[in-house]
A and B are shown apart, each in its own frame.
Chain A
Amino acid sequence: MDWFGFLFLIEVTIGGLLSGVMYALVAIGFVLIYKTSGVLNFAQGAMVLFAALTFVSLVEAGVPFFLALIISAAIMVALGFAIERTVLRPLANRSPMTLFMATLGLSYIIEGAAQIIWGTEVHRLDLGISNAPFQIAGVFISTFDLVAAGIAGVLVASLTAFFRWTRTGLAFRAVADDQFAALAVGLRLDRTWATVWAAAGIVALVAGLLWGARLGVQFSLSLIVLKALPVLVLGGFDSVLGAIVAGLAIGAAEKLAEVYLGPFVGGGIEGWFAYVVALLVLLVRPSGLFGQKLVERF
């Protein structure tokens, strides 16, 4: 491989890693909920769409940027509480598969409601971050992607701090560790679940803003759930670290495959390549890279 080929390889890899950050951002929302309540929340993508649409519509209505941010965050928190009250609580103690199917229904409701309330047209979202690429040692890197990665980093750091140093975070960890023990020492499961759904709503808002700035705020935003699922499977459903590592790995693998493998099979392999990578890893490690090993006792 000549020098330019090598530079190109580096550039593709970095681009892939950075878009992997974006995948991880969506996947973290899933992990939060799965860790504490054992629910695979298919509606996470719909929540991303809902959050982004709410924010964009507020900004377009003339609300200042930060006020719009606060209002959308408040709405997402309220949505989280509402979901716990109307969907999760009646379904408590049911099988995880039942809860998963309920979130499928939930995603239909949120998607439909978001578009009825805020309309179906595509909105442009400008976060004021430049999209111009800059050059380091001959390799082009997109400023936007780098800023997005920074924001994701801050989000993960604050989530980690929250989990480690606050009482609520401690409750989260207790519930994630052992629901019955947590219940026995007097933790309110329903309140913890409501909080964690609210937190996932905030994560959805961040993901929605970054993805929305890149793709435009529209229905297809809710389809990023399909991009996040292989990341989740690869990283393990209950590991934030796993989501990040798997996000990076899948982002890079996908871009490299599209560039170096795509031409041989006619391109467009982005839709399924991540799934095949995840599947192959799963065949060796059935709980993903960082997932908790499922031990069956009877």
Chain B
Amino acid sequence: MSTLADTRLHSPNLLRHTPLATFLLIAFIAIPALASPYVIEAILLPFLALALAGVGLNLLTGYGGQVSLGSAAFMAVGAFAAYNIQLRLNLPLPLTILLSALTAATVGLIFGLPSLRLRGFYLAVSTLAAQFFVQWALTKFGWFSNYSPSGVISAPGMTLLGYSLDSTTARYLLALTLVTLLTLGVWAFTAGPLGNDLIAIRDNETAAQIIGVPVLKTKLVAFALSSAIIGVAGFLWAFTYLRTIEPAGFDLDRSFDVLFIIIIGGLATLRGAFLGAGLIVVFPLLLSRLSAMAFGGMIDSGVLELVQRIILGTLIIAFLIAEPNGLAAILTRVKRRFARNTL
């Protein structure tokens, strides 16, 4: 009986992963071959970095139920750690990325400590401490930016096994590889025993503790892992997209962006982070194109930015009211309807 059930489960499972495989094939082979550099530089690179940050925050907020308003701080830690490690230790690139992720994890662990004692809003507000402290420290202590007079550093070139990774395509492939690997890693984590512990704590901390879930350990692991992933996202943001590193780029607004990504995309879904990031990146570009077409540059960029803020705020509220599970839930619904029609 059980073998029969197993085999039955197996084939739909394989089918379920075909779309993912197709996606990856397109992303790894078709896009580098066909997409224009503009599309990669202006859309895909920020998209990948923000999507990864979304994945990292989703681990903490979506699966763990701990709201953080300090994501950009950990992005900054990742970016500046990578810069300093490359500058001072001159290690191979994978090791640099690994060490900067570990640095972000350590900082995340420190700022995650209050979560052992604080709940809800008290915790959310205390994560702001990370946001302001990290930004202040990076601006104040010149050592972090190697005493650059303006505080804005251009990211040094990246090489892997002797090949330079500075071309647009190479940076895109590097970002894509990292994002794919880390997302698969998070997927495995959330599906595994530790992920179950985390979800149990989110849903009912006291009950989780009673059935023997190690609450403290799980929370800290979630903070460390989430910060490490967000740190790598910060590395991608600075090294592959902007190619400059400055504390001002990792301000509170960036933290909110990452939070909005997972609200709009859908909490506790990995594809939600990607859908939300896509919206956050494409929407301003689309809006400025639209206004240029409709009003022919009559609206100045300042007003446009304000309109963008209003629309973004409205979107957030609309999603919270009408579709709390975000774009991911809409996508599932659309797919189900599509499947029903084709059958």
Report A-chain residues with C-beta under 8 Å of the C-beta of B310.
108-109, 112-113, 116
Q: How far is the CA of A40 from the CA of B320 in the complex (A)?
A: 16
User: Majority SS of interface residues in chain B?
Assistant: helix
Report A-chain residues with C-beta under 8 Å of the C-beta of B263.
101
Question: Are B126 and A105 closer than 8 Å at their CB atoms?
Answer: no
Question: Are A112 and B129 closer than 8 Å at their CB atoms?
Answer: no
A282 nearest CB across to chain B (Å): 6
Report A-chain residues with C-beta under 8 Å of the C-beta of B136.
268-269, 271-272
User: Majority SS of interface residues in chain A?
Assistant: helix
Q: Is A18 close to B, CB under 8 A?
A: no
**Among listed B149-157, B190-198, B237-245, B311-319, interface-contacting one:** B311-319
What count of chain B residues pass the 8 Å CB interface test? 45
Question: Are B122 and A101 closer than 8 Å at their CB atoms?
Answer: no
Q: How far is the CA of A134 from the CA of B3 in the complex (A)?
A: 89
Q: Is A283 close to B, CB under 8 A?
A: yes
Report B-chain residues with C-beta under 8 Å of the C-beta of A276.
129, 133
Encode contact with A along B109-133: 1 for CB under 8 Å, 0 otherwise.
Answer: 0000010011111101110110011
**Which residues from 313 to 343 on chain B have a C-beta closer than 8 Å to any C-beta of chain A?**
313-317, 320-321, 324
A176 nearest CB across to chain B (Å): 16
Q: How far is the CA of A219 from the CA of B122 in the complex (A)?
A: 26
Q: Is A232 close to B, CB under 8 A?
A: yes
Q: Is A241 close to B, CB under 8 A?
A: no
A108 nearest CB across to chain B (Å): 3
Report A-chain residues with C-beta under 8 Å of the C-beta of B124.
40, 97, 100
Report B-chain residues with C-beta under 8 Å of the C-beta of A111.
306, 309
Question: Are A101 and B320 closer than 8 Å at their CB atoms?
Answer: yes
Report B-chain residues with C-beta under 8 Å of the C-beta of A279.
114, 126, 129
Encode contact with B along A278-296: 1 for CB under 8 Å, 0 otherwise.
Answer: 1100110011100000101
Question: Are B122 and A229 closer than 8 Å at their CB atoms?
Answer: no
Question: Are A101 and B312 closer than 8 Å at their CB atoms?
Answer: no
Report B-chain residues with C-beta under 8 Å of the C-beta of A108.
309-310, 312-313, 316
- Of A90, A100, A278, the contact of B321 (CB 8 Å cutoff): A90
**Which residues from 68 to 103 on chain A have a C-beta closer than 8 Å to any C-beta of chain B?**
87, 90-91, 94, 96-98, 100-102
Instruction: Tally inter-chain residue pairs, CB-CB below 8 A.
Output: 129
Closest B residue, CB atoms, query A298? B206
Q: Is B259 close to A, CB under 8 A?
A: yes
Encode contact with B along A224-240: 1 for CB under 8 Å, 0 otherwise.
Answer: 00100110110001000
**Which residues from 38 to 73 on chain B have a C-beta closer than 8 Å to any C-beta of chain A?**
67
A117 nearest CB across to chain B (Å): 10
Contact flag A91-B320 (CB < 8 Å), given A109-B313, A116-B306, A266-B140 = yes
Most chain B beta-carbon contacts within 10 A, residue among A271, A272, A288: A272
Q: Is B307 close to A, CB under 8 A?
A: yes
Q: How far is the CA of A98 from the CA of B325 in the complex (A)?
A: 11
> Beyond A100-B67, A106-B317, A272-B133: 16 further Cβ-contacts under 8 Å?
A97-B67, A102-B317, A102-B321, A112-B306, A229-B128, A233-B125, A268-B140, A272-B129, A272-B132, A276-B129, A278-B125, A282-B118, A286-B118, A286-B119, A296-B205, A296-B206
Chain B interface (Cβ < 8 Å from any Cβ of A) = 67, 114, 117-122, 124-126, 128-129, 132-133, 135-136, 139-141, 204-207, 252, 256, 259-260, 263, 302-303, 306-310, 312-317, 320-321, 324
29 A-B pairs in the complex with CB atoms less than 8 angstroms apart: A96-B120, A101-B263, A102-B321, A104-B256, A104-B313, A104-B316, A105-B313, A105-B316, A108-B313, A109-B314, A111-B306, A112-B310, A113-B310, A116-B310, A226-B252, A266-B140, A266-B141, A271-B132, A271-B136, A272-B132, A272-B136, A275-B128, A275-B129, A276-B133, A278-B126, A278-B129, A282-B122, A287-B122, A294-B119
What 7 A-B pairs are tightest by C-beta distance, nearest first?
A: A108-B313, A105-B316, A275-B129, A109-B313, A272-B132, A112-B310, A112-B309
